[in-house]
């Protein structure tokens, strides 16, 4: 054992390596590989967004800035959320973070720590479970139920997982990786449960505008909460405006938590760079046409991969209701981590193995369809051929 490592905090040592990174490292140099394993589209950030950052730098915005975010950005977020959800909202509710992950870690640290438990319905984005672990609390995975019609949130199973140590529930709708979308009934049931047990809800609705076969935005906790509810929302600029590398997001909460959140930001990132916040303002205020283009691309991508993979009778999935992932199982395959590497070798397609998304996802694969049609057509052709050939 390495004494340098073993002297570290247990939670840091035990933070797991992402199963996506593992297959990525295995396959990144495979020639001609079509990479559908990461959760991002293939379009670059639109130039009007980048130009707003450049203009800010040219204007000298290179100093320390507000811990809660530029007032102009908090106002732009409030305008944006008000417009999308059809109800006015105060800028005082918003706290700018260095990406969605920083918003999540801030939320975890605010509501839980050593000795606490946080419930995460799975399959789930692995950063929820790992992020709770880093905060010192214990993540409790509660598997959802897979049916050919869709994934189901079993509220009784969640209720059964609640103990005196439970502090919070993480609800991600629409979901990465399953593309499940909570119904209004699911939202009401979760809120009732949280109220009954005094739990916090950490609501991750970042894919709320990527909705298929139903009106957008997806049903939201904001439709039903009141001022006393224990809820924080996390959000990110990453997906809607192709800004994954920018690291700008926000946390939304009751303004009464303002000083606490400001302190947590002060002692983690000390605020998000002002020039990146100017880019976020441009995206929120002028980014509708680009978002529409992203969404159209995902809609077409969804049709291509759903049709292409339905043609192989070994593949099973529920239609993607939201987000931009197809989460499918392959008959006869139990170890998706191993098989994802086989598919790198045999099909030159990069998929995220379901093992990385926690309980219930082991036999599945996640494919990101927010990409150009030609790649998705070729990838599904290759997958279909390989699945016919491989046992």
Q: Which residues bind to ligand PLP, rule: CB under 6 A?
A: 39, 99-101, 125, 172, 176, 204, 206, 236, 238, 244, 249
b/e map of 66-85 (b: 16 or more CB within 10 Å)?
bbbbbeebbbbbbbbbeebe
On whether the CB atoms of residues 277 and 70 are closer than 8 A, the answer is: yes
Under DSSP, the state recorded for 227 is T
Q: State which residue, 176 or 294, has the beta carbon closest to ligand PLP.
A: 176
On whether the CB atoms of residues 352 and 284 are closer than 8 A, the answer is: no
Q: State which residue, 249 or 353, has the beta carbon closest to ligand PLP.
A: 249
Distance, CA of 190 to CA of 200 (rounded, Å): 11
Shortest gap between Cβ of 174 and ligand PLP (angstroms)?
A: 9
Shortest gap between Cβ of 245 and ligand PLP (angstroms)?
A: 9
* Residue with the shortest CB distance to ligand PLP: 100
Q: State which residue, 241 or 382, has the beta carbon closest to ligand PLP.
A: 241
Q: State which residue, 91 or 249, has the beta carbon closest to ligand PLP.
A: 249
Q: State which residue, 172 or 356, has the beta carbon closest to ligand PLP.
A: 172
Angstrom CA distances, 333 to 123, 306, 350, 355, 382, stand at 17, 19, 16, 12, 17
Distance, CA of 109 to CA of 260 (rounded, Å): 11
Give Cβ neighbours of residue 379 (< 8 Å, ≥ 6 apart): 34, 36, 305, 347, 349, 367
Shortest gap between Cβ of 194 and ligand PLP (angstroms)?
A: 19
Shortest gap between Cβ of 217 and ligand PLP (angstroms)?
A: 15
Shortest gap between Cβ of 23 and ligand PLP (angstroms)?
A: 16
Q: State which residue, 176 or 179, has the beta carbon closest to ligand PLP.
A: 176
Shortest gap between Cβ of 242 and ligand PLP (angstroms)?
A: 11
Distance, CA of 124 to CA of 189 (rounded, Å): 19
On whether the CB atoms of residues 149 and 182 are closer than 8 A, the answer is: no
Shortest gap between Cβ of 113 and ligand PLP (angstroms)?
A: 21
Q: State which residue, 186 or 346, has the beta carbon closest to ligand PLP.
A: 186
Please report the beta strands in the chain, taking only residues with DSSP state E, as ranges in sequence order: 34-35, 94-97, 117-122, 138-143, 145-147, 150-152, 166-172, 200-204, 231-236, 249-252, 315-317, 325-330, 349-350, 352-353, 364-368
Q: State which residue, 308 or 350, has the beta carbon closest to ligand PLP.
A: 350
Shortest gap between Cβ of 268 and ligand PLP (angstroms)?
A: 14
Distance, CA of 52 to CA of 64 (rounded, Å): 18
Q: What share of the chain is helix, strand, coil (3-state, %, to 5)?
A: 45, 15, 40
Shortest gap between Cβ of 247 and ligand PLP (angstroms)?
A: 7
Q: State which residue, 202 or 282, has the beta carbon closest to ligand PLP.
A: 202
Tokens of 340: 């994802």
């Amino acid at each position: 054992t390495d004494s340098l490592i073993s002297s570290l905090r247990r939670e840091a040592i035990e933070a797991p390596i992402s199963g996506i990174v593992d297959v990525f490292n295995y396959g990144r140099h495979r020639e001609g590989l079509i990479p559908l394993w990461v959760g991002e589209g293939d379009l670059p950030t639109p130039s009007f967004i980048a130009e707003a950052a450049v203009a800010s730098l040219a204007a000298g915005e290179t100093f320390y800035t507000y811990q809660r975010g530029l007032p102009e950005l908090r106002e732009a977020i409030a305008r944006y959320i008000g417009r999308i959800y059809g109800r006015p909202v105060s800028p005082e509710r918003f706290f700018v973070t260095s990406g969605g992950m920083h918003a999540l870690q801030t939320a975890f640290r605010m509501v839980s720590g050593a000795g606490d438990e946080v419930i995460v319905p799975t399959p789930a984005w692995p950063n929820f479970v790992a992020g709770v672990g880093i905060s010192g609390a214990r993540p409790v995975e509660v598997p959802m139920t897979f049916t050919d019609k869709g994934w189901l949130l079993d509220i009784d199973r969640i209720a059964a997982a609640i103990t005196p140590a439970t502090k919070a529930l993480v609800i991600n709708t629409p979901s990465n990786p399953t593309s499940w979308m909570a119904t209004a009934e699911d939202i009401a049931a979760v809120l009732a449960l949280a109220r009954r047990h005094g739990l916090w809800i950490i609501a991750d609705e970042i894919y709320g505008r990527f909705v298929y076969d139903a009106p957008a935005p997806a049903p939201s906790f904001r439709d039903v909460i009141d001022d006393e509810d224990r809820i924080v929302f996390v959000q990110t600029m990453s997906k809607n405006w192709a800004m994954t590398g920018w690291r700008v997001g926000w946390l939304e909460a009751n303004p009464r938590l303002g000083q606490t959140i400001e302190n947590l930001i002060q002692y983690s990132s000390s605020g998000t760079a002002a020039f990146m916040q100017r880019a976020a303002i441009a995206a929120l205020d002028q980014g509708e046409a680009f978002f529409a283009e992203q969404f159209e691309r995902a809609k077409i991508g969804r049709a291509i991969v759903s049709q292409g993979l339905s043609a192989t009778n070994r593949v099973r999935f529920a239609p993607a209701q939201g987000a931009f992932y197809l989460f499918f199982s392959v008959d006869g395959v139990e170890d998706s981590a191993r098989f994802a590497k086989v598919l790198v070798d045999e099909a030159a397609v990069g998929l995220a193995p379901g093992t990385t998304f926690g309980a219930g996802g082991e036999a599945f694969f996640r494919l990101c369809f927010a990409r150009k049609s030609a790649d998705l057509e070729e990838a599904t052709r290759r997958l279909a051929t390989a699945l016919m050939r491989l046992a």
